[in-house]
């Protein structure tokens, strides 16, 4: 009994620690307060500012486009890398896997800074071309796609691929028709992971982004440093929207997964 109470108290405390700060922001985003302090009244002003200020809208759309496009490239590269390493000889495969670990374990600051030094300072690529930024985000995301695809390849029944070859399919057709459909769940989850990583990134973006472009994270850091007024409170609204979007996605995914497992049990 005591153990049960103890358990639920700890759980509540942990959840409070995790969610209270976000809840505070969410509540304040619906007020006209300009500081976390006295609340004067209810207002949707922050949301109006968030979606009507061109600077903010451009920044949010830019971040989303960047995340989707760099995740797309990373997914292609990561998947190809995983398939390549899966069908390589053992020594080669372990070499690729080890190299893949380095960007994963490496601190983002180091990745961002070294890409900046290599591309911008040494090779003289202008940051305005978005190439350093895209390269940085792909470097950040691709290894994770690789990691989420590899297990699916290992689970795959390799005899189907061989059967396809025996039946006259070219290796390429077999790859597209047989291998990729089987590892699709891994590719999709890798893509989702890549999008999240790109949205989340601050360090790579600060070193490689063009000066006139901001992602949500770099923008928020600047805004909290200098700002005093409307934009800062509009960012509370942005946090709330982001939080709700993520919560909704997770909820939908969980419901669907549960449904699927129930259907699976039914059969």
Partner 1 sequence: MTEKKRKIAAILACCMTVSLLPAFSMRAEASGNGEEDKGREVTLRVSNWEEYIDLGGWDEEETIELDSGDVIGERSMIEDFKEWYYETYGIRVKVEYSTFGTNEDLYNMLTLGDTFDLVCPSEYMIMKLMTENRLLPLSEEFFHTSDKNNYYINGVSPYIQSVFENSEIDGKKWSDYAAGYMWGITGIVYNPEMVSGEEASSWKILSDPAFHRQITIKDNVRDSYFAAVGAIKSDLLTSEEFLNSPDYLQNLEREMNDTAPEIISKVQEYLQDVKDNCYSFESDSGKADMITGKVAANYQWSGDAVYTMDQADEDDFTLAFAVPEESTNIYFDGWVMLKNGIGEDAAKQHAAEAFINFNSRADNVIRNMYYIGYTSVISGGDDSRIFEYADWCYGAEDGEEAVMDYDLGYFFSDGEEDGEYIISAPADQAYRQLFAQYPTEEAISRSSIMACFDEEQTKAINQMWINVRCYNIHDMPGWVRVFAIAAVCVAAGIGIWRKKHSFYR
**Which residues contact partner 1 (rule: CB under 8 A)?**
34-38, 40, 53, 55, 62, 65-66, 68-70, 72-73, 76, 116-117, 120-121, 126-127, 129-131, 134, 170, 172-173, 176, 207, 210-214, 221-229, 231
**Based on CB atoms, which residue is closest to partner 1, 14 or 188?**
188
Handedness of CA 108, 109, 112, 114 (dihedral sign): negative
Residues in the chain: 267
Report the distance separating Cα 39 and Cα 145, nearest Å.
45
Q: Are 199 and 169 in contact (CB under 8 A)?
A: no
Least spacing, CB of residue 49 vs partner 1, in Å: 9
**Based on CB atoms, which residue is closest to partner 1, 20 or 36?**
36
Least spacing, CB of residue 120 vs partner 1, in Å: 4
Least spacing, CB of residue 31 vs partner 1, in Å: 13
**Two tokens at 63?**
């971040």
**Based on CB atoms, which residue is closest to partner 1, 151 or 171?**
171
Q: Are 49 and 230 in contact (CB under 8 A)?
A: yes
Handedness of CA 230, 19, 253, 160 (dihedral sign): positive
**Based on CB atoms, which residue is closest to partner 1, 69 or 196?**
69
Q: How crowded is residue 154: how many other Cβ atoms within 10 Å of its Cβ? A: 10
Least spacing, CB of residue 140 vs partner 1, in Å: 14
**Based on CB atoms, which residue is closest to partner 1, 64 or 93?**
64
Least spacing, CB of residue 112 vs partner 1, in Å: 10
For residues 238-264, b (16+ Cβ closer than 10 Å) or e, as one string?
bbbbeeeeeeeeeeeeeeeeeeeeeee
Least spacing, CB of residue 8 vs partner 1, in Å: 32
Q: Are 147 and 153 in contact (CB under 8 A)?
A: no
**Based on CB atoms, which residue is closest to partner 1, 21 or 151?**
21
């Amino acid at each position: 009994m005591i153990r049960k109470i103890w358990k639920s108290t700890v759980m509540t405390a942990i959840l409070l620690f995790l969610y209270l700060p976000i809840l505070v922001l969410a509540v304040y985003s619906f007020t006209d307060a300009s500081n976390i302090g006295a609340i004067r009244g209810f207002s949707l002003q922050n949301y109006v500012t968030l979606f009507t200020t061109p600077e903010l809208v451009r920044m949010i759309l830019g971040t989303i486009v960047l995340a989707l496009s760099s995740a797309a490239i990373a997914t292609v590269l990561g998947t190809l890398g995983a398939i390549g390493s899966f069908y390589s000889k053992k020594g080669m495969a372990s070499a690729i896997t080890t190299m893949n670990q380095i960007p994963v374990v490496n601190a983002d600051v180091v990745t961002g800074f070294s890409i900046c030094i290599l591309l911008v300072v040494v090779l003289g690529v202008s940051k305005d071309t978005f190439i350093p930024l895209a390269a940085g985000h792909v470097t950040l995301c691709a290894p994770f796609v690789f990691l989420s695809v590899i297990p699916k390849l290992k689970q795959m029944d390799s005899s189907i691929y061989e059967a396809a070859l025996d039946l006259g399919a070219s290796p390429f057709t077999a790859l597209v028709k047989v291998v990729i459909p089987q590892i699709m769940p891994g590719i999709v989850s890798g893509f989702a992971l890549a999008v999240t990583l790109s949205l989340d990134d601050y360090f790579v973006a600060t070193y490689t982004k063009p000066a006139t472009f901001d992602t949500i994270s770099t923008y928020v850091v600047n805004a909290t440093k200098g700002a005093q007024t409307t934009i800062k409170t509009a960012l509370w609204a942005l946090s709330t929207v982001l939080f709700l979007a993520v919560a909704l996605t997770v909820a939908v995914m969980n419901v669907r997964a549960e449904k699927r497992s129930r259907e699976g049990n039914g059969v």
